Chain A
Amino acid sequence: MREYIGKGALRHDGIEKVTGQAEYLGDIKLNGMLYAKIKTSPYAHAQIVSIDTSKAEALPGVRAVLTGRDENVMVGLYMVDRWAMAAEKTRYYGEVVAAVAADTQEIADRAAELIEIEYMPLPPVLDVREAVKASSPQVHENSEVYDYIKGVFHPEPGRNIANRTKVRKGDVDAAFLRADVVIEHTYEQPQVFHLPLEPHGTIVQWGAGDKVKIHTSAQSPFAVRDLFAHGFQLPRSKVEVNVPYVGGGFGGKAGIHMEPLVGMLSKRCGGRPVKLIPTREEECATFPCRQGLVARVKTGATKDGKIIAEEVEYLWDGGAYADYGVNISRAGAVTACGPYDIENVKVDSVTVYTNKIFGTAYRGFGHPEVFFGIERQRDLLAKELGMCPVELRLKNLLMPGAHTITGELITEHTGRVDKCLKMVAEKLNVGQDYTPEEKAEFQKTGKYRAKAAAVLQKSPAMPTWSASSAVVHMNEDGTVHITVGGVDFGQGTYTVLQQIAAERLQIPIEKIVMAPGVNTDMSPYDWQTVASRMTVLCGNAVCEACDDLTEQLLEMGSIVLRASKHEVALGDECVYVKQNPQYSMPYSKICMGYTYENGNAIGGPIIGRGKSIAQGLTNLDPETGQGKTALDWTYGAHAIEIEVDTHTGDIRVVDMASCLDVGRVMNEAMVHGQMIGGVLQGLGTTFSEAVYYDGEGRLLTRNLTDYKIATFKDMPEKLEICCVETPQLDGPYGARGIGEHPLIAITAVIANALANATGAEMYDLPLSADRVRAALAKE
């Protein structure tokens, strides 16, 4: 038996990517292709008075000019509230108002400039706390007509509330009266960009007979097909979605984006393919981002440190549209208090419409935002009680036998957050004080060091029916092709699937090929590539497909070898007789069928198929929030040591340890890759990333200079990655998803360490040098 799970296995797509051969959306050119340009709103909130496209239409080389008043379609994944183009009013700066298709990009750009639009500005709604009030101006006047998934989401028409998810457990009011200590704080986080290096590109060809072919840089090809077909009332069979290599997504390429708009342009141009590649500025201003969050957290505890009550209000800054955001407020409610065992809980998690860029899925799906407040709150409570913050956490963490705030039972298979915390806290000696000499040095240099630790959790938030499938074809020579419907946009899922197949089929991994890209006409169905669900759901589908293939090989082998099926086995790419291994038949001789000398033929090409569907998920009770939305929980913890330069406000990460309970390490290098990458993205969110607007709601951060992500210079000096392995019962080989988790709670652990180093308690992000300096000045 060769082992393919665990160590080893290089990326399946390394060669294509290091040579520049990997084809991304922007690299595709089709015959007769036209180029698109969008015209966007310069106002955050305005009535569209008139649109004059005549000058643009007169420009030679322009093939179509489209406005929301010509033709339009409504889109949205969970809440259908967004038109492809604004028709009556614009709800955020950067919203698409019109679009052009032309022979060249230059002509399209020029034509878009020539479109004249008259606006009547309306007062913008920019602050969630104001927006949520009944007296606020409405971002959507007629939201009661919007379609949404009933029973799952709870909009409040007439107010800027797209969803409210409630959790009620025990009796918080009584518990607060009983508590020895009660603390309450409000934490604020700005919106954040996903910033994949590759923008959202799309090519659509609306062919004759309404046969639509879409090439797009998307995470979820089947969701694009589904939503496109739904929007235009087309059968799914007429919409083909092809996803080439994707240059990063982080949630921002889930759902549907410009495909409907570009589709309408193509239709207008007689079915010629139309390509839209947004500029970086458009990518920032027009495409969705991570929601902002204002979190009010009130916590009650006994004096020995047991948390007995928590009341949480999350106001998610959903921006102008909430198609995806509603599910983030729901996920935020389920995870609202972190991995803690708390008896009395009251949560209101609300997606609020504002006149800002709209929010969508972002790596961690609400959890990084929730954990900033929750893990800050734990340290603040420990301080109030005079307890060690690690001890306080250990005293309250969810352990087997406990129930989550939504009533889910934690078992010994769920994963162990306590082990993760202990591991990282030990690695960095969190809690150990510095020596008097070290402290003297801090004073002298003005550079203070401190440590902190924090925990994290996440589960996928997906519909109860979320499913995956896989097809495994064996080729003439015994090599194997696997097709799945989920996308590998860098996270390495396909390599893990290859490993699973190699292990299952006992075939060298080099002989297993993942079909690159996904095509909905040819690939088997997958709900969406989101929520760190691929290794588990798609992995299980590949297991089943390989087992199906194996059965067929054994069947064929036993007939050809004239042995009972239970007496043959697979090994070394052969079927052999267990008693007599020299009687064997290579896969290559039987996988396309077998013909005897007399002409009798049996079998035929061998194809394995597999599927899996999320098990045991329910909707949440609308009043109490009780139910099960988590397929599995992945827990983890970070510990950190930072150095704060009190003169400049700069924070340097001196040492760090991160740990996840991954269930089973499938590919060590890739687990590390996901974790290091996620941590760095978390450092970006902590130190520099924030979407800024001016007082009128006009976007200020429109490029990579004004919006800074982490660079080579921002790496932590030391980062140790470690794993706990508590096998997940239904995960392939015990594995769980880990793609999103590493960046959760990073903001909190750094803010906690900052407080420990300097006494400056910060309740909002980012912890940029100027803001830290200002906080220190207040101390």
Chain B
Amino acid sequence: MRQIHLTVNNEKYQVYCPEHITLLTLLREHLHLTGTKEGCAAGECGACTVIFNGKAANACMVLAPEANGAVVETIEGEAKDGVLSPLQQSFIEHHALQCGFCTPGMIMSARALLDANPAPTRDEIKEAMEGNLCRCTGYEPIITAIEQAAGGERGA
């Protein structure tokens, strides 16, 4: 067992957990933040994407001890005070989700992209999002949602 301090969505946490678990398990099983999904546990699908010290990361590929002292943002922190972010709103408006299982990871990858590059081109979006798999939407609506959100966020 090991004690880990971390900040998730601006809240500080202190967790006792086994050394070998991943950040994904820590979030889902220990902090009960189940918005972040597990699709493969092997860094291959992006369903578990969170923002880890400012960068998009697959939570299933981060060991819990590496998260000691880290600042993590998850899907649960994306809406503020019950109000959806423009990115979330845009996903709904552009039908960028169907089953929704990839959606939290998609939104976190897109969030990291927009934080680093507020006006990405379609190619830059594809490039940044390539690690996030979706079996339902065909990706097109997701790109549109991110493009439109970028426009909206810049305008705001």
Residues of A within 8 A of B (CB): 10-11, 13-24, 26-27, 106, 195-199, 245-250, 279-280, 489-492, 669-670, 672-673, 676-681, 703-705, 709-713, 715, 719
Contacts and interface: CB of A to CB of B under 8 A. Distances in A.
A678 B125 CA distance: 21
A490 B136 CA distance: 8
Given A10-B93, A23-B34, A197 B107 contact: no
B88 interface: yes
Given A677-B137, A679-B138, 18 more contacts: A14-B92, A14-B97, A18-B78, A18-B92, A19-B88, A20-B78, A23-B34, A197-B39, A197-B45, A198-B99, A199-B39, A490-B98, A672-B141, A676-B138, A709-B133, A711-B139, A713-B126, A713-B130
Contacts of A710: 139
A558 B136 CA distance: 48
A670 to B, nearest CB: 7
A686 B132 CA distance: 20
A595 B125 CA distance: 61
Interface residues of B, number: 51
A489 B34 contact: no
Contacts, number: 155
Interface string B83-125: 0100010011101011111111001000000000000000001
A712 B44 contact: no
B129 A712 contact: yes
B150 interface: no
Interface in B129-152: 129-130, 132-143
Interface string B27-57: 0100001111111111011010000000000
Which of B74, B129, B134, B136 neighbours the largest number of chain A CB atoms within 10 Å of its CB?
A: B136
A683 B79 CA distance: 35
B104 A247 contact: no
A677 B18 CA distance: 40
Contacts of B18: 106
Contacts of A245: 99-100
A197 B42 contact: no
B138 A11 contact: no
Nearest to A668: B95
B64 interface: no
Main secondary structure of the interface of A (DSSP, over half): loop
A673 B98 contact: yes
A680 B125 CA distance: 18
A717 to B, nearest CB: 11
B92 A673 contact: no
A681 B78 CA distance: 30
B75 interface: yes
B76 interface: yes
A741 to B, nearest CB: 14
Contacts of A27: 28, 34
Contacts of B47: 197
User: 7 nearest interchain CB pairs?
Assistant: A20-B35, A490-B99, A247-B101, A17-B100, A490-B98, A676-B138, A14-B92
A705 B45 CA distance: 10
A11 B41 CA distance: 29
B44 A197 contact: no
A23 B42 CA distance: 22
Contacts of A16: 100
Nearest to B90: A18
Nearest to A491: B98
B133 A26 contact: no
Contacts of B76: 19-20
B42 A14 contact: no
Contacts of A14: 91-92, 97
A280 B92 contact: no
Contacts of A681: 135, 138
A196 B135 contact: yes
Nearest to A673: B95
11 contacts: A19-B35, A19-B78, A20-B76, A22-B100, A247-B101, A280-B39, A280-B41, A670-B95, A673-B141, A712-B125, A715-B140
A24 B100 CA distance: 10
Contacts of B38: 26
Nearest to B21: A106
A673 B137 contact: yes
A672 B94 CA distance: 11
Contacts of B138: 673, 676-681, 715
A676 B126 CA distance: 16
B130 A198 contact: no
B101 A20 contact: no
A141 B149 CA distance: 60
A705 B131 CA distance: 11
A703 B40 contact: yes
Contacts of A26: 34, 37-38
Which of A14, A24, A719 neighbours the largest number of chain B CB atoms within 10 Å of its CB?
A: A14
Contact of A18 (B84, B133, B139): B84
Nearest to A199: B39
Contacts of B107: 18
B151 to A, nearest CB: 18
Contact of A676 (B74, B75, B125, B141): B141
Contacts of A246: 99
Contact of B97 (A17, A21, A680): A17
A565 B46 CA distance: 58
Contacts of A21: 35
Given A19-B75, A197-B102, A11 B132 contact: no
Contact of A709 (B42, B98, B135, B143): B135
